[in-house]
């Protein structure tokens, strides 16, 4: 039997408190069986989320010492901007404290009563931020993604026929189209490059920008490498670069595939949208070169990317 070891050493060990079955039953009753109300010290194996729970690398911890806390124009921001642009060369990169802040800013600008935003499947905070502006959030994942028992390589794909129907009947009500990679609320299912490319083509046909909710872009790229014809010999980085070449903007929680404990960003190409976004950012997050983060957080994101 072939054994594959993990290609890393563990340099730090954090002890966990063992609990008895009786203790766990007591904690659950005291929390009224709401797992969000448990104290994390009482949880031995925490499967609530992967968001922000990554162990950072030695290089990230070293980079934290380089963090510059200047209010404006910090070199930490420019290191972060450079690292992101190597993967996703958007004209405007706006850091936020996490992904939902990027969503709040974006939908506060484009959303209003009577508008509709389609997605393969909106994540819960995405839907909440869309609907908070009285905009309608519509899920258009293809039918294979709704069958938990079905084996299919890309169950996160957008249903392009339903998207076309929406754009043909309500194009004026659609400010943008979103695609979530991987499709988190759809079970973390990936989206194929073919589907991303064809979604972009359909958006161009109707003059609509395509935005990615890209929290797990690296994971999605690896699924493409494993499962999609023509990508087996491409590096994950090359696949990521192609993914972002089809997008007009993105929201991101860096607590996932940038492998940090806190951070995110909004990135886009539209100059007017970016100006409005930065104005809102200053009200709620901070100056555009720190966006609610410390300089060390920006450096950790840069190295994580």
Instruction: Enumerate domains of the chain plus CATH numbers.
Output: 19-48 (no CATH), 58-304 (3.40.640.10)
**pLDDT tens, position by position, 9-65:** 888 888 888 999 999 999 999 999 999 999 999 998 888 888 888 888 999 999 999
Helix (H) or strand (E) run with residue 206 in it: none
Alpha carbon 284 to its chain centroid, in Å, reads 20
pLDDT of residue 1: 64
- For 166, the token pair is 């929406």
Q: What is the mean pLDDT of residues 119-126?
A: 94
- For 242, the token pair is 């192609």
pLDDT bucket at 6, cuts 50 / 70 / 90? confident
The string over 224-259, giving b where at least 16 C-beta atoms fall within 10 Å of a residue's C-beta and e elsewhere, is bbeebeebeebebeebbbbbbebbbbbbbbbbbbbb
Q: Cα(162)–Cα(288) distance, rounded to whole angstroms?
A: 37
Query: Percentage of the chain surpassing pLDDT 90?
Result: 85
Name the pTM for this structure.
0.89
pLDDT of residue 231: 97
**pLDDT tens, position by position, 194-222:** 999 999 999 999 999 999 999 999 999 99
Mean pLDDT of all residues in the chain?
94
């Amino acid at each position: 039997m072939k054994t594959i070891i993990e290609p890393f050493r563990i340099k730090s060990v954090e002890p966990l408190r063992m609990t008895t079955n009786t203790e766990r039953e007591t904690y659950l009753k005291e929390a009224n069986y709401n797992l969000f109300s448990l104290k994390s010290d009482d949880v031995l194996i925490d499967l609530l989320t992967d968001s922000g729970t990554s162990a950072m690398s030695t290089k990230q911890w070293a980079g934290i010492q380089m963090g510059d806390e200047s209010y404006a124009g910090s070199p930490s921001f420019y290191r972060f901007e450079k690292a992101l642009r190597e993967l996703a060369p958007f004209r405007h990169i706006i850091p936020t404290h996490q992904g939902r802040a990027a969503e709040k800013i974006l939908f506060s600008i484009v959303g209003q009563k009577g508008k509709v935003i389609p997605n393969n499947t909106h994540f819960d905070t995405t839907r909440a931020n869309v609907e908070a502006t009285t905009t309608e959030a519509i899920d258009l994942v293809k039918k294979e993604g709704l069958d938990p028992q079905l084996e299919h390589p890309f169950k996160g794909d957008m249903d392009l026929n339903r998207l076309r129907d929406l754009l043909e009947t309500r194009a004026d009500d659609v400010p943008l189209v979103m695609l979530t990679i991987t499709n988190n609320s759809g079970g973390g299912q990936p989206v194929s490059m073919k589907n991303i490319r064809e979604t972009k083509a359909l958006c161009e046909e109707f003059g609509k920008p395509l935005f990615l909710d890209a929290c797990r872009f690296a994971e999605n790229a690896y699924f493409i490498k494993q499962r999609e014809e023509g990508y087996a010999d491409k590096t994950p980085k090359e696949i990521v670069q192609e993914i972002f070449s089809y997008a007009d903007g993105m929201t991101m929680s860096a607590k996932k595939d940038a492998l940090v404990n806190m951070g995110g960003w909004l990135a886009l190409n539209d100059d007017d949208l970016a100006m409005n976004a930065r104005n809102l950012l200053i009200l709620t997050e901070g100056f555009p070169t720190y966006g609610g983060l410390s300089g060390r957080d920006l450096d950790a994101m840069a190295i994580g990317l």
